[in-house]
Amino acid sequence: MIMQSSGLKKLKNFSKTNRELLAQADIIIARSIEKKGDWEEAEIMYTAIMEEFSDTSIALRVPLLMAIHYDQPDNEQSKEQMKKIYTDALSSYQNILSDQGSRSALIKKKCF
């Protein structure tokens, strides 16, 4: 796993009660790992963010970042993975709306 910068470590220690900031710090780390070419490790982190911070707006964005990785026009397997991620994300978003009864659920999560 990539070493976290001291700044991100300080941010995570400072914001232990702010789940949005914690999720933001983790997504920065995951994106850095992905940009360094370690997709498997990044995917593990993305999945952990969705599970650990499911109540944050950051977690709602993670499936879109993962789908972008699989957006490779000449690779049929990647296309199928991308479609699955989009389908799962849409289902998750619809569940959030139905659980809360309205669009206000996403507004409360500060997605808009």
pLDDT in tens, 90-112: 888 877 777 665 555 555 655 54
Burial 22-36 (b: 16+ CB within 10 A, else e): bbbbbbebbebbbee
3-state secondary structure of 1: coil
Q: How many CA atoms lie within 13 Å of 41's alpha carbon, on the beta-carbon side?
A: 14
pLDDT < 70 stretches in the chain: 1-16, 99-112
CA angle 36, 60, 108 (to 5 degrees): 140
pTM of the model: 0.69
